[in-house]
Amino acid sequence: MNINLTLECDSCGEPTNCRIGMSNRPEQPLRFACKDCGQVIDLTLRMHSADIDGAHQIETQTPFDENTNFVDLHLDFPVSFEKYVMGQTPFMMAAQRIGVDEMMLHGARLRHLDEFHDNKRTFNTLLKHYTRQKKTPFKLVAKRAFDVDVISDAPQDFNAALYNLLAIMMWPFALPGDNANTVDLFMNELGKARQASKPELEAFIAETIDTRFLAKLQSDCLDVYPRMLASELALRPALFLDFDDAYSNNPIPMRVSADDFQSFKDLYKDIAEVISRQFVLVAGVNNLIKRGNHNTFFPGIGLTKSGKDFTPDSLDQFAKVDFGKKLTFIDDSWYQLEDDSADNQLRNAIAHFKTEYDDVTQIISYYPQKDGLEAKAPKTISFLEFMRRILTAYREMHRLHHLIKALFYYRYLLMDDASKQEAT
């Protein structure tokens, strides 16, 4: 179903013809900017009402003419900046881009997000119960709200319930088969580390647990999941791009119809920082596999042309290194980052330097380095591609979260069992 209406900008008086493809969400917040003056116009549609801010509705003449400003809007798909073409609705354009089977999978993800929309607050509360070790309310709410059982008070069973909850709520954001492949990879590599030196592997795990590094890192991961769910309306077009091979090979400007860059820039930065800390675990396992000690890095790997050697002396020292440099200290790493999952220049621009956003074109300009009085030429990225970067970074963080889970399970199931056997 589509709705055609015309809105007149409250700032400059210019009309914009809007073709709105309807999602299944009961409340649909949409946003665009007036092409003439840049005024941001917000439109929230409900079953029997609508709120408009920044413009007001005027009489609509259909079919739309070519001389009036025009926007396509849809929550579920990226939409073009092109001129109006009758029949080329957002849904039809999306179906032509990816095909029927992929549209069905994309639709299943969206239905899941719609179905669990009202559970987001409860899910967030459950994650806080887990982090604070509030076991009784965690068990009761997990069962009542999600039908997830905690079968005993053992820590491994609380851990299992936690990851069942994550699997339920976060399913739409995962690539098919990705979680299983990731778990297999981690089990295989930890097996290599155990074979290289079981005592050293257990010393590595004990250090990350005794210092609370692992628990704090898990908590930081858990903080991201509710923020991803809170961002799901703007992420829907990015999810669509999983199936759009043409876009992957040749990105083109397309519109995101919900919210803007300012609402999400800190999310990307924070996920990148979590990934940076997760790579401490990757480096530790890498050192164990190759040199039998999690603190021993490849000799001279940090040697510069000037003769200075910045090779970390320990994993603790490595943890203090900026993320952009961390990767250079891991020799022939067993774990590879996905493309664009942690763009350090974009992250630095958001965190420390400068970004600009054009509401009309939805283009982000960012400055990766500090400038003097005169700013250098910026790099640019579309808002849609930025949301895609958030999704890719989230997936990287979630993959590495499975390594955290694996290390906890090793501690709960193998190290504890070994201790019991020695005691008897």
338-383: per-residue pLDDT in tens? 766 777 778 888 877 688 999 999 999 988 776 655 667 788 999 9
The larger pLDDT score, comparing residue 247 to residue 311, is at 311
pLDDT tens for 252-296 read 889 999 988 888 989 999 999 999 999 999 999 999 999 999 999
Q: Are residues 93 and 180 in the same domain?
A: no
233 inside domain? yes
Q: Are residues 56 and 189 in the same domain?
A: no
132 inside domain? no
pLDDT tens for 379-423 read 899 999 999 999 999 999 999 999 999 999 999 988 855 443 432
Pick from 73, 97, 121: which residue ends a domain?
97
**Domain count for the chain:** 2
Pick from 97, 115, 136: which residue ends a domain?
97
Q: Are residues 205 and 76 in the same domain?
A: no
Q: How does the average pLDDT of the chain come out, rounded?
A: 91
At 33 the pLDDT is 95
At 372 the pLDDT is 56
160 inside domain? no
130 inside domain? no
Pick from 401, 411, 404: nearest CA to 201: 411
pLDDT tens for 183-210 read 899 999 999 999 989 999 999 999 999 9
368 inside domain? yes
> What is the C-alpha to C-alpha distance for residues 293 and 284, in angstroms, rounded to an integer?
8
Distances (CA, A) of 227 to 9, 180, 271: 32, 24, 10
Number of other CB atoms surrounding residue 167 within 10 Å: 12
> What is the C-alpha to C-alpha distance for residues 154 and 148, in angstroms, rounded to an integer?
16
* Largest distance between two CA atoms of the chain: 86
390 is in which domain, residue-wise?
Answer: 174-423
Report which DSSP code applies to 365.
Answer: E
Cis peptide before 63 (omega within 30 of 0): yes
Pick from 97, 123, 142: which residue ends a domain?
97
140 inside domain? no
pTM value? 0.93
> What is the C-alpha to C-alpha distance for residues 185 and 157, in angstroms, rounded to an integer?
22
Q: Are residues 202 and 328 in the same domain?
A: yes
